[in-house]
Structures are given as structure tokens and as C-alpha cells.
Amino acid sequence: MRWTSLAIRSLLVSPLLLSGPLLAQTDDGWDDWETGDWEEEAGPAFPLYGFIELGAGSRLDRSPHHDRLSLGEARARLETDGSTSRFQYTVKGDLVYDEVLGEWDAQARELTVSNGIGDHLDAKLGRQVMTWGSGDYVFLNDLFAKDWQAFFIGRDDEYLKAPQDALRLSGYFDRANIELAWTPEFEPDVYPRGERLSVFNPMEDQIIGEAQAFVADTPDDDELALRVYRNIGSTEWALYGYDGFHKSPTALSSDGQPTFSRLRALGGSVRLPLGPGLFNAEVSHHDSLDDPSGTDPRTPNSQWRALVGYEKELLTRLTGSLQLYLEHTQDHDELVLNSPNPEWEAEQNRTLVTTRLTWRDARDTMTLSLFAFYSPSDEDGHVRPRFDYRFDDNLSLSTGFNLFFGEETHSFFGQFEDNNNAYARIRYAF
């Protein structure tokens, strides 16, 4: 706490410290004569950049749960960063008017101070976005907060990774590098809960919308994530550990309220060049600490999760990738035997296939992309075609679709069928 307090006080004081030399430089005309035009001009003390963005989206079909408008917002982003003699700082925040919810919102995407500790350690404290792992839109060991609502309504991909308050320590050593992220209060995913996207609620045995939106009981305990990684030649490997909670409210409390059960995860990943492309593999064991025997239907069972992927350039400026994902539920027989609704339980082996195609024109101003999820076991999926065009260095346009399909209303993607949408965003960066 003392370190935090000092850091924040230093952030507040630093503008005053920097303003003195700037004023002195303006008053002293000899400085311009002495430096001459050939010396590099000093940048502003507080470089300010960001963007303004307008976004609009509409459901493709009428929904009994929501209006047509799926995305309607005006967003302004301001960023600055810099350093003093004692630490570096980054400030990144959004001011948003959300027409769907009819409200203004201010969001801190990053508010951090960082500093080196000795020769091998860096510390970063504050609100920040964190990520690791080898999957493309599939997360096995990356158990930092995600914003699935943003992902499904057409916001920029950046917003899939949600910020959280944490202390991150990074150590760089000869044998391996280490990263430790401690979040003092559990940060869950921004999960669909009926307010903006209709979802299946097993407690009500139906799809619910805004009128039945729920709020989960969220624990306030801490969570800890660890990564040990190293490059050996052209091969990148990593080991992971996590102690905290499931990131989505997949458990029920004793009084029937959605909540987050405890989770401990261990895993590893590898990424290396293979033939003309890039291969990656990742595995993770999710240990459900609140239900070790798998007999409590209110708590998710332990699982093994595995992923293999491959990416290569198919043609000039056209790249393609394929991922195969397996989710194996342990003690599945006990889960089905004790479940009040065994017909809604997922298969013991849930499978998922993803593919990505990306084409860019020769000037790199236009990008066409298609990302698709398909689950052979659940017979559902999600397709994301997108068109991006950059008019110049400042102005850009993004437009696309979020298309869901499924045989069952309770499957992961099938529950979102009423939320099929098209969107467009135009951004001016400065």
C-alpha cells in the first residue's frame, strides 16, 4: 500500500515537475540558437493520443427479448504514457455513450505505474489488460477476464480482453522467464446475462432477455496466475498455473443464485515453425475444487482441455489457420446421474473446430477476414465475417456480422441465435 500511495502521489506531482523546465525553455531564447535545427526536437511532456469512434449494429431478425438495436455507441479514447526518473506510467481511458442501455460510462482500460526492481525484475501495478497462451479466440490457460458481450456485438477485438486491477511481476533469467499476476479481488468475465444478449437460463428452462436479466453472486477473494516461459531456438514453450475461480457463473449457490466456483488450473503450451507454417499446441487441467468427485450438479466438474493449431500463408496475402479443441469432462457419469436435467448436460467430450481466413490487399488498406467456430459434438457454431478499410492514417471503417446457429437452445452457441447481428464502426485516430 505504501508503494501504491507513493506511485499515485508521484503521478499527481509529475506534471508540476515537468512544467518548470518547459517554461524555462520557452523563456530562454539562447536554447534555440545552441541546439540548432539539426537536433531532434523534444516531444511533449504528456503525449496525448487516442481515437473517436461511432458504432451501430442491428439484429437481423426480430427478437422477443430485445429491440433491433444491438450496438449504438459513441466512444472517445484518450491515452498518454511517459516516465519520470523513478517509474513509467500509462493512462488509457474511454468515455462511452451507450444508446442500447441509454447511459454514459467512463472506463479505465489501463492505469498503471511500473518500475524495475534490480537487474532482473519489473513490477507493474494498477488496472491493466493481461493475456497469454497460444490459442486464437480459444483460451485454456489464459484465465484473465474476457468481455464476451463486446465480442458478440461487434466491438473492436481489443475489447474482448477486459481490464482488471492487478500487480504483475516479470522476471528475466537465463534459464527461464517468469510472470506472476496477483489480482487482489476476483475479476469475472463480462458474461451474457440477458441484459444485452438473450441467453438460456436453466433455472427458468428458457431463453431469457432484458426483463429476466440476472446478476451472479461474485466472490471478493483474490486470484493468482503464473507463467514460466522460454524460447529454445525457434521453439517457444510455456508452463502455466492459476488459482482462483471459474470466470463465468457456471455454478449455483445453495439458494439457487448463479455464482463462481473455485478453480485451480495447470497447463503448458508450445509454438514452433513447422513446414511452411506455424504450429501450436496447448493443454490445461481445470481442477474444480468445490466438487472434486463430480457429483454436485450445481458445480462444474473438473476438465482436461487440449488444443492444436496450424497457420500458414495459403496464397500471396492470404493466410489461413485451423484449430482443433477438446474439452473432456471428468466424472461425467456422476454428473449425468445426479443432474436434475441430464438432457442439458454437455457431452463428455465437447469438440470444437475453428478456422480463420485473412486477405489483405497490396497496399494494406483493405482486409477481408472470416473466423468460424463449429462444434461437431454440440452441432452449433458462430461465424464472424468482417471487412476493414483504412482510408488514411487516421480514418478507418470496420463492418461485419455475428452469426450464430445450433440445434439446441441450451448449447453454448445455439442459445445466441436470437442475437444474430450486423455492425459497422468508423474511427478517427489522432
* pLDDT tens-place string over residues 36-89: 444 555 667 778 999 999 999 999 999 999 999 999 999 999 999 999 888 999
Pairing label, strands 277-288, 303-315: antiparallel
89 within 8 A of 73, measured Cβ to Cβ: no
How many Å separate Cα 135 from the centre of its chain?
12
Any idea what the Cα angle at residue 263 is, between residues 261 and 268, rounded to 5°? 155
**H-helix or E-strand containing 57?**
strand 49-59
Residue 427 contacts residue 396 (beta carbons within 8 Å): yes
| Angle CA 56–60–66, to nearest 5 | 75
SS3 402: strand
Q: Among residues 13, 79, 20, 10, which one has the least CA distance to residue 50?
A: 79
Q: Amino acid identity, residue 404? A: F
Partners of 352 in the beta sheet?
A: 325
User: Is the torsion defined by CA of 287, 290, 293, 296 positive or negative?
Assistant: negative
Q: What is the pTM of this model?
A: 0.87
**Is 22 strand, coil or helix?**
helix
The whole-angstrom separation of Cα 185 and Cα 221 is 5
Length of the chain, in residues: 430
Q: How far apart are CA 67 and CA 317, in angstroms?
A: 39
The stretches of 36-135 forming alpha helices (DSSP H) are none
Phi/psi at 414 (5° precision): -60, -30
What pLDDT score was predicted for residue 202? 84
Q: Is 184 within 8 Å of 193 (Cβ atoms)? A: no
What value does the CA radius of gyration of the chain take, rounded to a whole number of Å? 24
- In this prediction, the residues of the chain whose per-residue pLDDT falls under 50 are 1-38
Which residues lie across from 350 on neighbouring strands? 327
CA atoms within 13 A on the CB side of 307: 27
Instruction: Write down the pLDDT at residue 42.
Output: 61
What pLDDT shows up at residue 40? 53
Side chain identity at 232, as an amino acid letter? I
Top CATH class, 48-429: mainly beta
The CA-based angle 165-283-170, given to 5 degrees, is: 35
Q: Report the alpha-carbon distance of residue 169 to residue 257 in Å, rounded.
A: 35
